[in-house]
Amino acid sequence: MTKATALRQARRLAVVADQLFAMVKNDPTLSPEQIASLARQWFADALAEFEREAAAQRLDDPDDLERAVQRDRDRAEGAADLLRRNDIAVASGSAVALLAQHGIDASPDSPTVVELARALLRAAAEAARLGVARLEGDYSARPVDPLFASAETLPAPAPAPAPAPAAQRKNDQTFSKAFERYSLEKRAAGAWRPAMDIDAQATASIFMEIAGDRPLSQYTRADIGEFVSALQRLPAHRTKRPRFKGKSIVELVAMADADPSIERISPVTVKKYATILSAFWGWTVDRGLTDQNIARAAYKKPKRTIRRNQERDAWSVEQLRTLFNAPIWRGCKGATRRTEPGPQIIRDVDWWLPVLALFHPCRLEELAQLRVADIREEGGIPYLDIHASDDGADGDAPARRLKSAAAIRRVPIHKTVLALGFMDLVAERRAAGIRMLWPELKAGGAANRLSFDYSKRFGRLRRQLGIEGPDFHSFRHTSITALVRAEVHPDIVSQLSGHEIPGERGRFSKGAELPALRQAIDAIAYDGIDAEFIGSRRGIPGANLSDSKNA
């Protein structure tokens, strides 16, 4: 279908719809065909919106691509689930609004709204299914729902003129030269975070070691297969373990093949590197350097063998008791001797971060990069204003970075944290003119994260205390589990934890207000782990409480 044909058919669809609705402005009861016509128009609009979004972003980061694909899968599954349960509440508002656009005033419980809401759920499920296919590069997918089989969809983008055959190209660049140019473009556009840049260079290095540095025209799909095969057999931590230092990729693969006890890199990492290579090869097609993306869909992660909620340990109450009985919270010998029992309790970043993470489903970097100005209050409810920077790095306040758009949120401060005096700390920082909530943190590591050094310190503390299994990120798992066990609504759990609200509820819902969020946060509870337990100085004669300015 050409673009011109699609536009003619779209105009015809709009004219038919206008004629149908002109007939029913005085009678809000629509026929099945009229309802179907409106649903098809909504479906076509949804696909057009997908194309606009796709054109505005480049999902080179495999995590971003996987999140986008999973989001549309969740939408499709969520809409199908609502249809199975005949739960049309989330779509009825949109149905009423859609009818109002055509001058039809209909009650939310009218038969017309009920049937249109069901049709919109079908449209949302079908649009999301096609969105997944298109995100994965498949524009041949067509609607399978009979209601939309003849609906107007945007045609696949017209193929670009075929580039000249490799033999005729004057500038058949080598892989290394092309990848260098690709990297420069990505950096100039700000498309790569520091960690992504490092992963990209590692991908290029491994590929060239496996397939050589040749003109782009000389590579084939078989070279991509060799690359993926080598990735799947590479030892994990190859750059950190002494026994792997100085070894070539071929030698490392041979070592791992000969010793089954050697841990291999994870499927997630294999997928990441394969996606980076595919993105590069797609860029070479866009730039007219090659004819096709020979690396597309070169690797698919194996299906899970365990449930997702079993992949990471949560903190048990006994482990939390062990942690908060450590000298950091009970009394230590000083700022440089935090693991030795003594009279000093220093309420600095090491004291506060585990407490905050236990009672708020936040990521470590979200907490580490908080500014004093990010602690806000509305209607008597203090909350963490978690958002990305709109001003970039600014003096002693580095740019805030978030994992995704869904991570932008307001998280009310838990009553236990308030009881421990958190707002006093904030007031002291504000009065002293200190911008960062944790001024002692300095950015580090490949990703330039403020949490880099602290994460290592916490890991050492956990091991010294003999706590096996959970790590700092497990606090997030633990707090989300506490919300679920408190029977908090799943949408509020997603909103507080910075996840996309799944299915069509995420499309139609505007989220809960701050009072409801506070009620949910305060439902997080652990047996015996409260302000009295965490803040207790029992057993430390002459304990001296101080904040981080005295550390």
Give the position of tokens 């782990």. Answer: 529
| Residues 408, 328: Cα–Cα separation, whole Å | 31
Distance CA 90, CA 505 (A): 6
Q: Quick one: pLDDT at residue 28?
A: 56
Q: Are 364 and 472 in contact (CB under 8 A)?
A: yes
> What is the C-alpha separation between 100 and 61, in angstroms, rounded?
41
For position 543, what pLDDT does the model report? 44
Domain with CATH 1.10.443 in the chain: 317-535
Q: Write out the DSSP string of 291-330.
A: SS-TTTT---PPPPSS-GGGSSPPPPHHHHHHHHTSHHHH
Residues 6+ apart with CB under 8 A from 47: 127, 130, 131, 153, 154
Based on its alpha-carbon atoms, the radius of gyration of the chain, rounded to whole angstroms, reads 28
Show pLDDT as tens, one digit a residue, over the chain (551 residues): 444 444 444 444 444 444 444 444 444 577 888 888 888 888 888 877 776 666 555 555 555 666 677 777 777 777 777 777 877 777 777 788 778 777 787 788 888 888 888 888 888 888 888 877 777 656 667 788 888 876 544 444 444 444 444 444 556 899 999 999 999 998 888 778 777 888 999 999 999 999 999 999 999 988 998 999 899 999 988 888 888 888 888 888 889 888 888 999 888 888 889 989 999 998 998 888 998 889 887 777 665 544 554 546 789 999 999 999 999 999 998 888 888 999 999 999 999 999 999 999 999 999 999 999 999 999 999 999 998 875 555 555 677 877 777 788 999 999 999 999 999 999 999 999 999 999 999 988 877 789 999 999 999 999 999 999 899 999 999 999 999 999 999 889 999 998 877 655 555 566 789 999 999 999 999 999 999 999 875 434 444 545 544 33
- pTM (2 d.p.): 0.58
Measuring CA to CA, which residue among 478, 475, 511, 485 is closest to residue 496? 511
Closest by Cα among 322, 329, 330 to 541? 330
Q: Please spell the DSSP secondary structure of 226-246, one letter per residue.
A: HHHHHHHHSBTTTTTSGGGTT
Residue 97 token pair: 């609004």
Residue among 315, 309, 346 at smallest CA distance from 331: 346
Q: What is the pLDDT of residue 205?
A: 93
Close Cβ partners of 67 (under 8 Å, ≥ 6 residues apart): 404, 500
The two structure tokens encoding residue 11: 């105009």
pLDDT value at position 408? 87
**What three-state secondary structure class fits 363?**
coil
Residue 381: its pLDDT value, please? 96
Structure tokens at 285: 């097609």
Query: Dihedrals φ, ψ of 64, to 5°?
Result: -65, -45
| 505: its two tokens | 């509820």
Token duo for residue 194: 């520091």
How many alpha carbons fall within 13 Å on the CB side of residue 424?
11
Beta bridge partners of 341: 332
How crowded is residue 303: how many other Cβ atoms within 10 Å of its Cβ? 5
CATH architecture of 317-535: Orthogonal Bundle (1.10)
Strands 375-378 and 344-347, sheet pairing: unpaired
Report the Cα 288 to chain-centroid distance in Å: 32
Report pLDDT for 161: 45
Q: Return contacts of 233-236, CB within 8 angstroms, 24+ apart.
A: 233/257, 233/264, 234/206, 234/264, 234/265, 235/262, 235/263, 235/264, 235/265, 236/263, 236/264, 236/265, 236/266
